[in-house]
Structure 1
Amino acid sequence: MGGFKFSLLNEFTNEGSRADHVDILEELRMIQALTQQRYKALQYLFASPIVEKRLEVLKEIQKEHDDLKAKFFEERAALEAKYQLLYQPLYTKGVPYFWLVALQNNDEIADEITERDEDALKYLKDIKYTRTTEPQGFKLEFFFDSNPYFSNTILTKTYHMVDEDEFIMEKAIGTEIEWLPGKSLTEKKDPNTAKQTIETEKFDSFFNFFNSLEIPKDGMGVDEEADEELQNEMEHDYDIGLEI
């Protein structure tokens, strides 16, 4: 704390009595003394073991709050899963091909389903949603009866989120579908004997949803058009996942 500069008194005007100047000087000294006392009091307060103890208690309360919040989300996810199983018989009771009908009744998902997909989706008997914490995100599981198209009984799509609140997706990992010979709904491979190669023809299909998507490990490249196409594809895929 800087002391009062007595040279400043020279700037006072000659008006008024010497007693007035003495009173002003005395008041300034009192203000300086009070300021120093308050400064020392604050130093003592923040160095006080009592204050440090209270801060530790507050930190502990915050930790307990965070632990309870995490437990709440964990138990809520378990409760949602439990009641999803209880609701399931009500959804499918008396409705032939329930999940095919349900998916087709959603405008955004219906656009992904082709006529060729419909018969395969008649074997879909359940869809299960699960929140995940490691990694953060969610998983969709599609349960199928035995069918003439593929040997998998469960197809999954797992979304890894960078920030779930901001809907920022890192990647989406899908199941590789084990198509039975000649039954693939997503592509057709024909051998080209002249070129001694196999030509692949891609098809639009709902089952393309199970393809994996992720941002390359080295980040986006220099091809802005390709980067934008990948970004749009990931956003569309995520929107479909949310709709389901």
Structure 2
Amino acid sequence: MSNDKDNFNMGDLSAALNDEDRAGLVNALKNKLQSLTGQHSELLENLSPTSQHDELEAKFFEERAALEAKYQKLYQPLYTKRFEIVNGVAEFETKNEAAMDQEGEKAAEEKGVPDFWLVAMKNNEVLAEEITERDEGALKYLKDIKWHRIEDPKGFKLEFFFDSNPYFKNYVLTKTYHMIDEDEPILEKAIGTEIEWYPGKCLTQKLLKKKPKKGSKNSKPITKTEDCESFFNFFSPPQVPEDDEDIDEDTAEELQNQMEQDYDIGRKVERDKLGMVSRVSGLQNASSNEV
């Protein structure tokens, strides 16, 4: 004989309860679930205090910007002194007597440090890949590189100062980077100077001549210009079309890679100016010690 208690189930319980009792039971279960959910929410909030983190991060970025501005001012006298020495505006002292004698002999011939920035850039592994043999003639006229932070819009600006030269009319070539989020950083766009090349001196294009086909009425060689590799392409950065629908997936990926490479070069120039100079100084010191 079976036990009545063993046959008791939820259906029997539901039948035994009136409507009011069932409603009370349901509400009690709901309240319990809400209580558990609330406890977990508070726990998650304690584990991830987003607002506090955001406040600290904002303070970090603010203090970092102030620190960068402070040291940029402290660096400026060093940059000025470097410019004066490199361009022969001021002389530098040396304790090496042999080097002093050698420098004295050369003083009448030339002032400053010839080809300083060309050598500095070629000693930077990233920039060296961008410089072609044809570029070197123009880069010998480079006399200074400056960096500026810009605030509206956020980003930074590079300025390349050149002496008068037979390649282009510009005395200053600039490259400006506009950032969506400078701290991440996310690049919005880059803007470069349009270089005013003298006739036949453009380094970003080369002239190709082809013989006319046999039997052609025109016997003159066919000439056309073609884009070529050059450091000076740096001042003609890739541009994102206003309408993204105009480009397919492969083109978009290629454009993104070009923009990332362009940004990497700009950052390398900005961050490694002193590093480039240090390597040049090291080479010069080594040469002096060999004398």
TM-score normalised to structure 2 length: 0.54
Are 1:164 and 2:182 an aligned pair?
yes
Among 138, 141, 145, the residue aligned to 2:163: 145
TM-score, structure 1 as length reference: 0.64
Question: Which residue in 2 is equivalent to 1:225?
Answer: 250
Runs of 4+ in 1 over 4 A off after TM superposition: 69-72, 189-194
Does the aligned pair in 2 maintain the 1:220–1:227 contact within 8 Å? no
Q: CA deviation at 1:202?
A: 1.1
Do the aligned residues in 1 keep the contact of 2:237 with 2:262 (CA within 8 Å)?
A: no
The worse-fitting range, judged by mean Cα deviation, of 146-155 and 97-106 is: 97-106
Cα distance in 2 for partners of 1:190, 1:125 equals 32
Residue 244 of structure 2 aligns to a residue whose secondary structure is coil
Contact 2:194-2:236 within 8 A present in 1 as well:
yes
SS of the residue 2:203 aligns to: coil
1:213 pairs with 2:238: yes
Q: Which runs of 5+ in 1 are unaligned?
A: 1-6, 9-61
Q: Which amino acid aligns with 2:81?
A: P
Match in the other structure for 1:119: 137
CA contact (8 A) 1:171 1:214 kept: yes
Q: Is the 8 A contact 2:237 2:259 kept in 1?
A: no
2:52 match: none
Matches of residues 93-104 of structure 1 in structure 2 within 5 Å? Answer: 95-104=113-122
SS at match of 1:169: strand
Q: CA RMSD in A?
A: 3.3
User: Which among 197, 202, 214 is matched to residue 227 of structure 2?
Assistant: 202
Counterpart of 1:34 in structure 2 is none
Percent of pairs with identical residues: 56
Alignment correspondent of 2:79: 87
Deviation at 1:82, TM superposition (A): 6.2
Contact 1:173–1:213 (Cα < 8 Å) also in 2: no
User: Are 1:221 and 1:227, in contact at CA under 8 Å, matched by a contact in 2?
Assistant: no
Judge which range, 210-219 or 81-90, deviates more: 81-90
Distance, in Å, in 2 between the alignment partners of 1:111 and 1:124 is 18
* Alignment check: 8 A CA contact 1:187 1:203 kept: yes
Provide the residue aligned with 2:146 in structure 1: 128
SS at match of 1:120: helix
